[in-house]
Amino acid sequence: MLFSSSKLGHIGQIISTGAVWEIGTSAFTPPTANEIETFVHVIIQVVVGVVTIYATVRKMFQKPESVVKLPAVGAVVAPPTLPATPVEASSTDSAHVAD
């Protein structure tokens, strides 16, 4: 693979050389907590972006739904309100209040 003449071999050599350099220079140190957190945030943002774009494109190509208006069957109607009439107190009511 060293000095490959094909385009794919050349790209593979560049990537493998970069990977070897990255591994060699970092001396196999694990990532810090901040690096992991940043990486996870980036992954979540990419997933949210892909889902948003997918939903937008899917909605764009969706056929419009036909709206069918049906008569309201079994609709609850409030009873009519009657005007309030004053109730006169009888003579027996006043006797009970005094007790």
Could you tell me if residue 9 is inside a domain? yes
- State pLDDT tens for residues 14-40: 888 877 776 666 656 778 899 999 999
Spell out the residues 6+ positions from residue 56 whose beta carbon is closer than 8 angstroms to its own. none
In whole angstroms, give the CA distance from residue 26 to residue 23: 5
- pLDDT category of residue 98 using cuts at 50, 70 and 90: low
Could you tell me if residue 84 is inside a domain? no
Statement to judge: residues 26 and 36 lie in one domain: no
**Domain total of the chain:** 2
Return the amino acid letter for 83.
P
Return the amino acid letter for 62.
Q
Please give the mean pLDDT across all residues of the chain.
76
